[in-house]
Amino acid sequence: MKGTAMPSSDLNGKVALVTGGSRGLGAAIAKRLAAEGANVVLTYVGSEEKARAVAAEIEATGRRALAIRADSADPAAVVRAVEETVRAFGGIDILVNNAGIWMDGPLLEATIEDFNRIIAVNVRAVFVAAQAAARHMKSGSRIINIGSNLADRVHSPYMTLYSMSKSALVGLTKGMARDFGPSGISVSLISPGPTDTDMNPANGAHAEHQRSLMAIPVYGRADEVAGLVAYVASAEGRSANGAQWVIDGGVNA
C-alpha cells in the first residue's frame, strides 16, 4: 500500500464507476469517493493523460483505481466499461453517470446530427450504463445521475437541446427508481448550476451573467458537488431514491 491510508468509511471496499472522470466534476467525484474508501473506475474519451493522473492520485492513497477509454456515444463501449469494472473489481456498488456534452446555438441552426449526439451522450448512455450496472448490483447499491439545473428552467436562448437532454434525466431517474427499487438499488439525480470547472470557469466570458441569476452570486465548486455525491452514496443517503438534488446557488429559487 502506498501513501497514507484513508479513514474508515461506510464506502470502504465499495466499487464505484464514474463516467467522464478525467477532469472537472468527474475527477472531483472520483477522488472524493476514493477518499471515502471506495475503489474507483473512471472512463474517459480523449483525456487519457488526465484520466491516468486521476487514477494515479487515487492509487497513491492506497485505494485501487482504473481508467478505461469509453466513448459514451457508443453503447457497446459503455457496456464494456461496466463489464470491465466487474471483472477487475468483482462487482459494482456505485455508478455515477457524469459524462455529458454541452451544446448551444440557435435552434433553427441545429441539425439532426446535433440532436442525435446530445441524446446519445446525455441520455442514452445513462440508460445503457444503468441497465448494465444494475444487472451486477446488490441491495444497497446506488446509481447517481449528474444532470443540470437547466432541466427545470431555461434562463437564456440557445440552450434548447442541452436543456431537453437534462430534462429527460428527471423522468429517467424517477422511472429507474421505481424499476430498481424492489432490488434495493436507489437512483438519484444531482443537478448542478454554475460550477467552476475548465468547461465553465468562474472567470469565463459568461460568468457574470450566470452570477446575476443566482441568489448567492458565487460559483459552485466541483468538490461541493462531489460531497453531495458522496453523501447520496453513503448509508445516510439510503432513502434518497427518485430524488433530484439541485445545487445551483439559488438560480432556480
| Helices within the chain (DSSP H only) | 24-35, 48-59, 75-89, 112-119, 125-134, 160-180, 207-212, 222-233
Type of residue at 107:
L
Radius of gyration of the chain (CA): 17
Residue 40 grid coordinates:
474507483
Q: Residue 44 catalytic? A: no
Contacts of 82 (CB under 8 A, 6+ apart): 17, 92, 95, 129, 132, 133, 136
Residue of 44, 158, 162, 219 with catalytic role:
162
Type of residue at 108:
L
Residue 209 grid coordinates:
451573467
> Dihedral, CA atoms, 136, 178, 121, 114, nearest 10 degrees?
160
Contacts of 116 (CB under 8 A, 6+ apart): none
Residues classed as catalytic: 162
